[in-house]
Structure 1
Amino acid sequence: MSSPLATCGVTGDQPATQSLSPLQPRSEDTMRSNKRRSGLPRASTLFRCLGIVALVGVAACGSDSSTDTGTAEPTTPETASSPTTTDSVESTGDVEPTGDQAVTCSDDLVAAATEEGEVVYAGYISEVFATELKAQFEEEYPGITLTYVAGRVGEIQERVTNEQRIGSVQTDVVASGNQYLEVFRQAGLLEPADLEIDEEFTLPVDPDGNWYPQGYIPAGIAVNLDMVDADTITSWTSLTDPEWAGELLMDDPTSGSTGFGFTLEALRSSELGEGFIEALASQDPTFVAGITQPYGQIARGEYPIYFPALEGDAQREKSAGAPIEWILPAEGAYGIAINMGLIMDAPHPNAAKLLMCFVLSEEMQQLRQEIDGIYPSVVRSWAADSPPLMAELDYEARIEETDNAQTINSTYWGL
C-alpha cells in the first residue's frame, strides 16, 4: 500500500520536509529574501496532507499506547486508586495543582497521570516559560517528567502527522495559534480532553473539548530606536513609506505562522485590505522563518523594523537592554490565540490532561503574562487590558482562506 502522503507529493517514508528528530526541536533559524522561493511546505498542501493522514494513515498504521517508553514506573500516591494508563479518566474530585484553577482535576486523574510518568508537549512556547513550566510542574508532580518541543506551526504539524503516519505517537499535547488546532480537529488528529471547566473563557473554545485556549498574544511592529523615530511609526500603513523600501524584516508568510496570518487579517481588515498588502509587498521585505532570530537582528541593527512582532518577545529584548520598542498600530494588533489539545492516541493521555489543567491555573497564566506577554484566556482581575485587534478572531474564515495559501502567497508575495 502506498504512503498516505504520496498524494501530497511524498513517497514511501520520506517526510514532506526534513523531519524533526524525536523530542528535538529545530534550533537553526533560516532567513531568505522574498525573491527566493522557500523550502518550507506550503500551508495548503500541508493541510491537505493532514486530512489524508487522518483518514488513511492513522487507520492503516494505528498506535500502540502500551509500548514501553523506557521510563521507570513511578510510584502511585497511596491516597488514590490507579486506573489503567491507556484510558482517559473522568474528572470527579477537586484537586488543584497550583493556584486557582480554570479547570478542575480529580484525584484519579493525578494518580493515573503519575502512573504514566511522563508527558510530551509540542508547540509554541518560549524557552524561558518552558523552563519555568517544567520546573514547577515536576515539583508539583514529582512522579511525572515533562518534555517540551518548541517549534513553529509547520514544524509541529509535520512532527505530529509523521508520528501518526508511521504509527509511533510520542506527542501528548500540541499547542499552536488561532485556527490550526481546529484544523487538527477537523483532520482527526485530536481527541476530546473533556476538561471540567470552572470559569468562562474570554477566547474561543471548542464546544466538544478538543482544544482549549491558553491565552492571547498581540502582534504589532518592533523597531530599533537607534535607527527609527518611533513617533513616525503609528500604523501598519507607516510601513509602506518609501523610506523603508528594502529595509523591512517580515515573518515568512509561507511558514504557516504570524506572517501568513497577518496577511489574511490585513486582507479582511476594512482599514487595510488588498491595496495595503500590495503596497507592502512593493517594499520588498526580507522574510525570516525564526522564533527568536528576528528580534536579535533588530537589536543588532541589521534591520530597523520587524513585523508582525509579538509584544512579549519584543518587550523581553527591551528588558535585556536592547534598543527595541514595540508599537501597537492604530488599526489594532494582529491577534494570536494560543490553543492546546490532546493528540489522538496520545501515549500519556492522563498526564496530558493534568498538564493542560496546570497550564490553565491562575499561577501559570500570570507567570506566562509576565514572561511572554500572553494575556490570560480566562477573566483575571490582575490581567492588563489586552490591545484591540485589527480583525476579530474568526477561525472558520481563516481555515477557508488558509486552503488558498499557495494562491495568496503567489499573488501578493510572489512566492
Structure 2
Amino acid sequence: MKKRKSYGSCLIALSLMIALTACNPKSTDTKAADTANKSSAKTDVSAAVTWAETNGLNKTETVDELYSKAKQEGKVVVYSQSSRIKDVKATFEAKYPGIKVEAFNMSTNDIVEKVIREQTAGIYNADVIFVKDASGAVTTELTTKKLVHKYIPKDLSEKMVEPYKSNSSGLVPYFSLRAIFYNTDVYKTSPVTNWWDLTMPEWKGKVLMNDPIDSADMMDLFLAMIQHSDEMKQAYKEKFGKDIVLEGTENASYEFIKRFLKNDPVLMKSSDEVVEAVGVSTQGKPPIGIGASSKLRDVIEKKLSIAATYDVLPKISVVGPSYLYVADKAPNVNAAKLMIRYMAGEADGKSDGFKPFNVMGSWSTRTDNGRTDQPSIDKLKVWNYDSDYFYKNFVKFREFWLKMQ
C-alpha cells in the first residue's frame, strides 16, 4: 500500500464520470448519467454551428472593430482553469476601458460540469472557456457537441507552429507538461534519467506526486505511457539490459505502474505541495517530485532549490495544451473574441494578456514570443496529446490504479 500525504476524494469529477457512464451502463452515478443524457438530448449541433458562423468565429477582425462592438456589450465572462486569470483581468480592463471582466477560477473538471449544466438548462452565461482537455472530456463533451467553439483568427494562427496552427480543436496559446523535479542543492544533474528508475529501491517512498484519480494531468501522463507501451518496453531494456518479463499485466506500461505503486509513491494534494517539498527538503537524499512544469516559476518567487529534467527515457512527458474557446451562444461574443486575442498574445505576440502564462515550464505555440531559457518546442521529447485515446481508456486505467492500491 503506498503512502498518502492527503486522501482527497476518490470520486472522479463529473467530466470524467460522463465517460464512465458511457463505458459502463450499470454505473450507479445517476447524477452524472442524467447530465450526460440531457446534454446529448438538448444539444443542437447544427444550430450551434450556425450561431458560430453568424457571429463571425471564422473571421479575422481588427482589434478596433472588436473593441467598438465589445464596449456595447460591456463585459466578458471567463471560466478559467488558471488562477492567473486575475492578472489578465487587471491588464485587460486597463487596456480596454468600458469592458468589465468577470473571471471565475475553477478546475477544468468543474468547468466541464458547469458548462454542461448551464447549457442544458438553457443558461448561457460564459463567454470564454479556458481549459485543458481533462483526459479528452473537453473534446468529447464540449467541443464535439458544440457547447464551445473554435476561434483562431488568421493573423494569430499564421504565427503558430503545427499542429496548433491548423489541426487543433481550439486556440492553444501554450502547453505545459508533467515534469520530474529534483533538489539542486543535493543533485547537480537529475538523478532520474529513465522512468523505470522510479521502481528502484532507492526511490521507495521518495517520489511525490498528485493522485491521478484527482488530477487529470497526472492521469494523462500514465495514459500516454500506456498508449506507447512499446517505448516503455524498450526503456526497460535500456535500463536493465534485458527484455521485460510481465508479472500478470498486459504490457510494459501497466507493469511499470504496478511496480511503481509497490515502491510507495507519496500522494500530495497539488503540484504546489510537490515542488515546495522537493525544493526545501533538508534530507540527505531528498525526494523527487512529479508535478506541473509551470511550477518552475516558483523557483524565483519562493526561492526554491528545484529544477526539472528534460532528458528522461523514453519521453519526458505528454503535452498538456491549454485551450481558449468561445462558449456557445456567448452573450458577449465580441468581447470574447477580443479577450481570446489578448490572452493569445495578439497579432504581434506582445500583449500583456499572454505574459502571466509565458513562464518557465510553459511553451508558447507561437514562433515569435517563446522563452529562450528552456528547451525549444522542437527539442522536447514528448508524447502528443491524444484526446480520443485518453477518453476511451481512462476508465480502464482508473480501475487498474485503484486495484493496485
TM-score, normalised with respect to structure 2: 0.73
1:193 paired to 2:151: yes
The residue that corresponds to 2:100 in the other structure is 145
Q: Say if 1:57 and 1:233 are closer, same or farther in 2 by CA, change over 3 A.
A: same
SS of the aligned residue for 1:292 comes to helix
Shift of 1:264: 0.8
Cα distance between partner residues in 2 of 1:206 and 1:44:
28
| Matched-pair contact (CA < 8 Å) for 2:223–2:394 | no
Shift of 1:261: 0.5
Cα distance between partner residues in 1 of 2:341 and 2:188:
44
SS of the aligned residue for 2:12 comes to coil
Cα distance between partner residues in 1 of 2:18 and 2:299:
33
- Residues paired across the two proteins, number: 343
The residue that corresponds to 1:274 in the other structure is 254
The residue that corresponds to 2:287 in the other structure is 304
Q: Say if 1:369 and 1:58 are closer, same or farther in 2 by CA, change over 3 A.
A: closer
1:218 paired to 2:177: yes
Q: Tell me the amino acid that sits aligned with residue 288 of structure 1.
A: M
The residue that corresponds to 2:304 in the other structure is 322
Report the identity percentage: 17
Residue deviations 1:264-311 (CA, integer Å, cap 9, x gap) = 11112333233322222222323334353433343454982221x222
| Matched-pair contact (CA < 8 Å) for 2:132–2:323 | yes
More helix by share: 2
SS of the aligned residue for 1:223 comes to strand
| Matched-pair contact (CA < 8 Å) for 1:90–1:109 | no
SS of the aligned residue for 2:325 comes to strand
Cα distance between partner residues in 1 of 2:205 and 2:165:
42
1:376 paired to 2:376: no
Shift of 1:149: 2.4
SS of the aligned residue for 2:98 comes to coil
> 1:2-401, aligned counterparts within 5 Å?
32-33=6-7, 38-41=10-13, 44-47=16-19, 48=22, 51-57=36-42, 88-89=55-56, 104-127=61-84, 130-178=85-133, 179-183=136-140, 184-193=142-151, 195-198=153-156, 199-205=158-164, 211-225=170-184, 230-255=189-214, 257-269=216-228, 270-272=230-232, 273-290=253-270, 292-301=272-281, 304-307=287-290, 309-331=291-313, 332-334=315-317, 335-360=319-344, 361=346, 362-364=349-351, 367-368=355-356, 370-371=358-359, 373-380=361-368, 383-384=371-372, 385-386=376-377, 387-393=379-385, 395=386, 398-401=387-390
Residue deviations 1:44-90 (CA, integer Å, cap 9, x gap) = 4234557534322557xx99xxxxxxxxxxxxxxxxxxxxxxx7257
Cα distance between partner residues in 2 of 1:291 and 1:113:
37
Cα distance between partner residues in 2 of 1:300 and 1:410:
34
Residue deviations 1:356-393 (CA, integer Å, cap 9, x gap) = 11112211476245435422122127543135233223
| Matched-pair contact (CA < 8 Å) for 2:296–2:360 | no
SS of the aligned residue for 2:342 comes to helix
Q: Say if 1:116 and 1:43 are closer, same or farther in 2 by CA, change over 3 A.
A: closer
The residue that corresponds to 1:71 in the other structure is none
| Matched-pair contact (CA < 8 Å) for 2:173–2:364 | yes
Cα distance between partner residues in 2 of 1:112 and 1:124:
27
Residue deviations 1:173-200 (CA, integer Å, cap 9, x gap) = 1122254542221133113436344514
Cα distance between partner residues in 1 of 2:17 and 2:175:
27
| Matched-pair contact (CA < 8 Å) for 1:89–1:109 | no
Shift of 1:340: 1.2
1:409 paired to 2:379: no
SS of the aligned residue for 1:149 comes to strand
Deviates more, 1:376-385 or 1:137-146: 376-385
SS of the aligned residue for 1:404 comes to helix
SS of the aligned residue for 2:231 comes to coil
Shift of 1:107: 3.4
| Matched-pair contact (CA < 8 Å) for 1:224–1:305 | yes
| Matched-pair contact (CA < 8 Å) for 2:175–2:320 | yes
Shift of 1:43: 5.3
TM-score, normalised with respect to structure 1: 0.71
SS of the aligned residue for 2:6 comes to strand
Cα distance between partner residues in 2 of 1:158 and 1:298:
33
Cα distance between partner residues in 2 of 1:356 and 1:111:
16
The residue that corresponds to 2:244 in the other structure is none
Q: Could you list the runs of 5+ residues in structure 1 that have no partner in the other structure?
A: 1-29, 64-86, 93-102
Residue deviations 1:213-272 (CA, integer Å, cap 9, x gap) = 111213311234467675422232222222222232222212352111001111123332
| Matched-pair contact (CA < 8 Å) for 1:216–1:376 | yes
Q: Tell me the amino acid that sits aligned with residue 342 of structure 2.
A: F
| Matched-pair contact (CA < 8 Å) for 1:42–1:254 | no
The residue that corresponds to 1:99 in the other structure is none
